[in-house]
Amino acid sequence: MRKQYVFLFSVMAVLAVCLASPAFAAQPGQDAAAQPAAAKPVADKPANVQVDRTTVVMVEHEGTDTLGAKFAFQLKGLFNASSLFTLTEKDAPKIKVFIASTAEFPSRPNIASAYSVVWAFSQAEGTLSFLLAREVGLVTAEELDSLVAKTAERTDGIAAKYAYLFAK
């Protein structure tokens, strides 16, 4: 009985190898030259990606807690250091990032802060701003750096999504 299984397995293995080989894969009437050519190798060299957009942003903070103030301050610093953003207060089309924060427990202000971030597009100072996105959450001192990076990344994503608003 074991010999039958070994024989059956051997036959199946030979069939699998034959069907996988290119000589057997060619259709009748086709020759091997008609098979598609192999793809040319591509050089493993990263291309220089130029970002042609710079988003004008403004950060405004409301709140008296220290974590919220650090959040707004670090976000402004990140925007100022980044080549993707121009931090300005000028009257120009821009994304306004509004941050409101408060201590989670007023009796223990250093535990965590509740925050809200609102992204709005403003064409000019005298016009109504358009709501683009919003987010609420809690942040501790240990999570603050990652929240700043996440907020900057989300701001860039929003700027890319609504880039048509900045078209001249």
pLDDT at 51 over 90: no
Q: Which residue has the higher pLDDT, 88 or 29?
A: 88
Confirm whether 95 is domain-assigned. Answer: yes
- Residue 121, number of CB atoms within 10 A of its CB: 18
> How big is the CA angle at 105 (ends 101 and 107), to the nearest 5 degrees?
120
Query: What is the average pLDDT across 112-137?
Result: 94
Confirm whether 48 is domain-assigned. Answer: no
Confirm whether 70 is domain-assigned. Answer: yes
Q: Which residue has the higher pLDDT, 11 or 114?
A: 114
Confirm whether 79 is domain-assigned. Answer: yes
Q: Which of 37-46, 76-85, 86-95, 156-165 comes out lowest in average pLDDT?
A: 37-46
CA distance 71 to 99: 9
Total domains, the chain:
1
Query: What is the average pLDDT across 151-163?
Result: 95
Q: State the pLDDT confidence band at 22, using cuts at 50, 70 and 90.
A: low
- Tens digit of pLDDT for each residue in 83-116? 999 998 888 999 999 999 999 888 876 789 999 9
Domain hosting residue 119, numbered range: 55-166
| pTM, full prediction | 0.68
**Largest alpha-carbon pair distance within the chain?**
90
Q: Which residue has the higher pLDDT, 40 or 62?
A: 62
- Domain harbouring 78, CATH code: 3.40.50.10610
pLDDT at 23 over 60: no
CA distance 59 to 75: 8
The pLDDT > 70 percentage for the chain reads: 70
Confirm whether 6 is domain-assigned. Answer: no
Confirm whether 11 is domain-assigned. Answer: no
Confirm whether 50 is domain-assigned. Answer: no
Q: Which of 25-34, 44-53, 62-71, 136-145 comes out lowest in average pLDDT?
A: 25-34
Confirm whether 145 is domain-assigned. Answer: yes
